[in-house]
Amino acid sequence: MNLKVKDMDIATGGPLVAILNQDDAHKLDLYVLDRIKIRKGKKIETVVVDIAESEKAVPRGRLGVFEEVIDSLGLKDKDKVEISIAKKPLSLKIIKKKLDGGILTKKEIHQVIWDIVHNKLSDIELTYFISACYTEAMSQKETIMLTEAMAEQGQTLKLRRYPIIDKHCIGGVPGNRTTMILVPIIAAAGLTMPKTSSRSITSPAGTADTMEVLAPVSFPLSKMKKIVERTNGCIVWGGALNLAPADDKIIKVERPLGIDAESQLLASILAKKLSVSSTHIIIDIPAGKGAKVKDRKAALLLKKQFENVAKKLKRHIRVVITNGSQPIGNGVGPALEARDVLRVLMRDRKRPLDLEKKCVMMAGEILAMAGIKNGREKAQRILNSGKAYMKIKEIIKAQGGNPDMTPKEIPLGRYRNTIRAKKSGVVSHIRNGAISHIARIAGAPKYQGAGLYLYKHVGDKVSKGESLFKIYANSAAKLDYVKEVLKTIEPFVVK
């Protein structure tokens, strides 16, 4: 059947979807979520079918296409295309098998991941897969195969180095910007750490957002490789690299219900580590009220699973359980966190000591794992000597940033407001969720200078009227909105 393209001017955010008018669909006996092949010249793409009941949405003789299909086939509005019936993806039977409690083979897992990566599954179909992995827990063997499939179906970084260090944090704690301090310490110690990081999805800043305050973070793999070969390290945005690309698509479907299928979580994290060929991995599990992992018991369970799976994948691993019940460092938001990081590395008097202490501990664990004695002392020495600061300058320069930027030169939001204690007492709790939310509505991470600066941490004494934190917003309207929201939530608990 020949149809004329109608550009729907909108993206699905993943799945390749085209819309037929119901009359045309009927001619081919097609239903919603069936598949068709679209041919444009020599290019062919198989896509999911949706059906329009009105002539207004998609008239007869037209094929409504979403942005992803436009891009894949290089289409323009009113282009002529040929469509034909295609088989449904093999994955659907495999997903059904998992829903029925079956154990998947390596081939089956690779098929599902292939279909996910290539946008062949609709949201409904992908949700069934995530749900199946959640309710019919994957075996360890399946989890390992899933990890390998996710890593293999994406680019991989190959380096002739050993060891190759990597790090991951389970997250949920504002300000916890350890990566940007760890990478220069480890690289200055002579080890290789090709770190890829994410941008924020629901937090006030991802490591990639924060690094971007100091230097560009989007590179092709070849350029990333050169940076690492020159400096021993890098801090780049993983999203530009197509490493384990199934991950992002899976996360999108997990978020609405806060589903974290353990097998999926392990596979997602470790697949990214495999794809940069890392040999030694440290995992930070912040545990506590307001963090993703709520208590020590859950953290210990997760730790054990990481250790088991990494062992089967023949990777060295250390898992540290840290205090996740309050923000770490003083700044929250890209610019404010970048200031914290530079202050630690520059040995500034105003550096946040909690962040420094955590980084030295983790660096010590990494060095120990790599067979270096007295790791923690060595990490502290590298920091104290200024070698770590020299190294971050080297990396910033290699990534195309200005290595001489000082913390004070990093611009912050112009609209500011200080929140003060309503009574005297001791800070008994700081709510991670409230802190993140406020930093976000102040403008972070989109506006680098937006966020907040904490003057107090849990356990600190405060007098009535003393500053608790300061808000930095990028517009007066945002600052007003933050003030409005602060009438309904209290980030600090003073007792």
Catalytic residue IDs: 260
Q: Is 164 in the site for its own copies (CB under 8 A)?
A: no
Q: 369: which residues sit within 8 A by CB, 6+ positions away?
A: 280, 282, 316, 318
Q: Is 116 in the site for its own copies (CB under 8 A)?
A: no
Where in 45-64 is the site for its own copies (CB under 8 A)? 50, 52-54, 56-58, 64
Q: Is 437 in the site for its own copies (CB under 8 A)?
A: yes
Task: Single out the segment in contact with its own copies by CB under 8 A; choices: 210-218, 256-264, 280-288, 394-402.
Answer: 256-264
Q: Is 256 in the site for its own copies (CB under 8 A)?
A: yes
CA 294 vs. chain centroid, Å, equals 20
- Report the Cα–Cα distance between both ends of the chain, in Å, rounded: 72
Q: 175: which residues sit within 8 A by CB, 6+ positions away?
A: 327, 328, 329, 330, 331, 332, 337, 340, 355, 454
Q: 325: which residues sit within 8 A by CB, 6+ positions away?
A: 288, 289, 290, 291, 429, 432, 458
| Dihedral sign of CA atoms 8, 14, 16, 20 in order | negative
C-beta separation of 342 from 393 below 8 A: no
Q: Which of 2, 84, 139, 202 binds its own copies (CB under 8 A)?
A: 202
Q: Is 111 in the site for its own copies (CB under 8 A)?
A: no
Minimum CB separation from its own copies for residue 20, in Å? 13
Give the x/- contact pattern for its own copies in 18-37, rule: CB under 8 A.
-x------xxxx-xxx----
Task: Single out the segment in contact with its own copies by CB under 8 A; choices: 91-99, 110-118, 262-270, 272-280.
Answer: 91-99
Question: In whole angstroms, what is the distance from residue 122 CA to residue 109 CA?
Answer: 17
Q: Is 175 in the site for its own copies (CB under 8 A)?
A: no
Q: Is 86 in the site for its own copies (CB under 8 A)?
A: no
Q: Which two tokens stand for residue 274?
A: 């495999």
Give the x/- contact pattern for its own copies in 342-371, rule: CB under 8 A.
------------------------------
Question: In whole angstroms, what is the distance from residue 258 CA to residue 454 CA?
Answer: 28
Q: Is 95 in the site for its own copies (CB under 8 A)?
A: yes
Q: Is 99 in the site for its own copies (CB under 8 A)?
A: yes
C-beta separation of 438 from 486 below 8 A: yes
Report how far apart, in Å, the C-alpha atoms of 273 and of each of 100, 166, 241, 269, 278 are: 31, 7, 13, 7, 6
Q: Is 426 in the site for its own copies (CB under 8 A)?
A: no
Q: Which of 2, 84, 135, 424 binds its own copies (CB under 8 A)?
A: 135
C-beta separation of 243 from 273 below 8 A: no
The site for its own copies, by CB under 8 A, has a size of 55
Q: Which of 478, 479, 491, 492 binds its own copies (CB under 8 A)?
A: 478
Q: Which residues bind its own copies (CB under 8 A)?
A: 8-11, 13, 19, 26-29, 31-33, 50, 52-54, 56-58, 64, 67, 92, 95-96, 99, 101, 122-125, 127-128, 131-132, 134-136, 201-202, 252-253, 255-259, 437, 440-441, 443, 446, 477-478, 481
